[in-house]
Amino acid sequence: MTNLDVAAIALAALITSAAVLPTTPLFAQEPAMSTQEQQVVDLLKAIETGAGEPVAVINPEHYRQHNLGAADGLAGFGALLAALPPNSAKVNTVRVFEDGDYVFAHSAYEFFGPRIGFDIFRFEHGKIVEHWDNLQETAAANPSGNTMIDGATSATDIDKTEANKALVAQFVDDILVNGRLEKLAGFFDGDSYIQHNPQIANGLSGLGAALEAMAKAGITMKYDTVHKVLGEGNFVLVVSEGSFGGKPTAFYDLFRVENGKIAEHWDTLETIPPQSEWKNQNGKFGF
């Protein structure tokens, strides 16, 4: 087995996570959101409520969709919502961050079934003109009791945004893409690491145990391309493309950095369908 294969198996342990929908919003005591962050939270909540006003933030003349299950444009967004069974949708956005023209959110959904999702929106002249997402079915909490959606929610260390983005980008390049396992420990503070995966306990020790189990199971995962790195303060989201179990896959990994080390991790993965099944031709990425 090559180093890349071992790294792929190790990081496959950072994949399928889920959570029970929180009963109350977690923003209640958090710092005030920016205008664009609030607009995104309101827009996502409108999937549940059916409110029309939040949808006005979308540019009706130019809205580029990267959810391959939805047709392009505002009409495609409306058609997707219309396909939902009446009163079935629930949305609780737990985290939202802003990086320049981009706002990215982490939400618990009832959306054709229980799911955890990351959404990215690009603003232009005060309107949303582009959208990406990555949705994953929910599952149980991990051996440490962590779900995919719980944990820290508020960005700190805003002055360290670029340094934290660089650190996480280096981690993804070294470990996930290139399998440089000799560098793995240097990205963490000993065994202090909070993992939001239902199959893995906290710490690098938990990751090591999962590595052994997954190697025995023959599970393979490969990161090929990093498409986007977004961040605000100590939170960094990385959007990557590769394969899991031999299937083309989109990986969204959210990291929390503390004192120059990776301290917490959430993620979703979604299989990329064959192009013949796409409802738009914009692709899953296209940043």
Percent of the chain with pLDDT over 90: 69
CA distances from 237 to 89, 99, 125, 166, 267 (A): 25, 10, 24, 12, 9
The residue among 202, 203, 208, 204 whose CA lies nearest residue 146 is: 202
Residue 37 CA to residue 102 CA, distance in Å, equals: 9
**pLDDT value at 216 more than 50:** yes
Residue 98's pLDDT is what? 98
Residue 54's pLDDT is what? 96
Residue 86's pLDDT is what? 84
Residue 230, CA atoms < 13 Å, CB-side half-sphere: 25
Residue type at position 104? F
194-195 and 261-271 strand pairing = parallel
Residue 205's pLDDT is what? 86
Residue 6's pLDDT is what? 36
Confidence of residue 25 (pLDDT cuts 50, 70, 90): very low
Average pLDDT of the residues in 7-14: 39
Average pLDDT of the residues in 173-191: 90
Confidence of residue 90 (pLDDT cuts 50, 70, 90): very high
CATH number for the domain running over 3-16+142-272? 3.10.450.50
Confidence of residue 31 (pLDDT cuts 50, 70, 90): low
Q: Considering Cα of 251, then 221, then 205, then 201, what sign does the dihedral take? A: positive
Domain boundaries in the chain?
3-16+142-272, 35-137
Domains 3-16+142-272 and 35-137 share a fold: yes
Residue type at position 74? L
Torsion of Cα atoms, 73 then 77 then 79 then 84, to 10°: 170
Average pLDDT of the residues in 30-49: 92
Residue range 244-271, pLDDT digits in tens: 888 999 999 999 999 999 999 999 999 9
**pLDDT value at 4 more than 60:** no
Residue range 159-172, pLDDT digits in tens: 999 999 999 999 99
Residue 18's pLDDT is what? 30
CATH of 35-137, one of 3.30.70.260, 3.10.450.50, 2.40.50.140, 3.40.50.11540: 3.10.450.50
H or E element: which one contains 46?
A: helix 35-49
Residue type at position 145? G
Q: Are residues 188 and 203 in contact, defined by beta-carbon separation less than 8 angstroms?
A: no
